[in-house]
Amino acid sequence: MNDQRDFLGYGAHPPRVTWPDGARVAVSFVLNVEEGAEHAISSGDGRNESLYEVVDEVLGQRDFCIESHFEYGPRAGYWRIARLFESFGVPLTLNLCGRALVRTPWLGQHAVAAGHEAMCHGWRWEHHNAMTEDEERATIRRCVETFEELLGTRPLGWHVKSHPSPATRRLLMEEGFLYDCNAYNDDLPAILRRDPPYLVLPYAFDSNDMQFFNGGRFVHGGDFARYCCDAFDWLAQEEVPKMMTVGLHTRIVGRPARIGGLRAMLDHMTARGAWVARRDEIARVWLEQMA
């Protein structure tokens, strides 16, 4: 049986990297920007988005409630999060949907000017596994062109919503991306190709503010902070330095009842010597170290 799955990874002897300033954990905060790219009948889609604070889906007609809910992210949540990271002097990686960037270009432009990374989250907040190869290739190209037009820079990283296609990674390599994040199977990056370089930087759903929605696993901001701080503390005492991802959303952790948990997390990690870095920075250090 050969299904091409890798259950071994680095095995019992993971590689030892030296993060800047001797940090034990490289922490990547990824702020997903999906607002304006969600399914909405008012945008010409066949349905409305159904995953949000209230489970009360409207079928067959415009859903003003959920549209307003998604608008909270760029109107209020983003600025609250951006001010917090500015106060700590550490960077974010923004995971921007192309259509969200078109609808809120000021958000991406503000982030890039502040020194944050702009990664791509696909054109829409959608899966790619149902696309034909030609459709997916055109979607990736459209995203790159949109970033170049609106931000003056192209994305180097990619993270499609949950389900890539069998062709996604090859198409990203062809398009000149440096890395993708469509893997959840490790605490360390992996180099897939050296010339030109291409890596996988694992993402995580457990240390992610979506868990405020997903069955109420997190209720208070402190729940999120405690969970992520526990993960950080454990990684910091393991045998080799590791990488950790914290997933954020402007419309979720940007709420005033949750943002304090993010501040507590940043307090804890920065006080204990975390290297809080952009994902492209992590990728380049890993390439240099593993050379």
Residues 23-49: pLDDT tens digits? 999 999 999 999 987 767 777 776 767
pLDDT in tens, 201-239: 999 999 999 999 877 799 999 999 999 999 999 999 999
Question: Which residue intervals of the chain are DSSP H helices?
Answer: 64-72, 78-88, 98-103, 105-113, 133-151, 168-174, 221-236, 259-271, 279-289
Reported confidence tier of residue 58, pLDDT bands at 50, 70, 90: low
User: Please, how many CA atoms are within 13 Å of residue 217, restricted to the half-sphere of its CB?
Assistant: 14
**For residue 287, what pLDDT is reported?**
97
Q: Given a cut of 60, is residue 185 above it in pLDDT?
A: yes
Q: 14 Cβ partners below 8 Å, 6+ apart?
A: 188, 239, 240
Strand partners, 117: 93
Side chain identity at 96, as an amino acid letter? L
With pLDDT > 70 as the criterion, what percentage of the chain qualifies? 95
pLDDT of residue 177: 98
Q: Which CATH number fits domain 20-289: 3.90.1300.10, 3.20.20.370, 3.40.50.11540, 3.10.20.30?
A: 3.20.20.370
Confidence of residue 120 (pLDDT cuts 50, 70, 90): very high
Per-residue confidence at 21, pLDDT binned at 50, 70, 90? very high
H or E element: which one contains 24?
none
| Domain range list for the chain | 20-289
CA–CA separation, 39 and 107 (whole Å): 20
Mean pLDDT rounded to a whole number for the chain: 93
Q: How far apart are CA 291 and CA 287, in angstroms?
A: 6
**pLDDT for the residue 83:** 98
Q: What is the pLDDT of residue 216?
A: 76
Q: How far apart are CA 205 and CA 139, in angstroms?
A: 25
Q: Using an 8 Å Cβ cutoff, are 120 and 179 in contact?
A: no
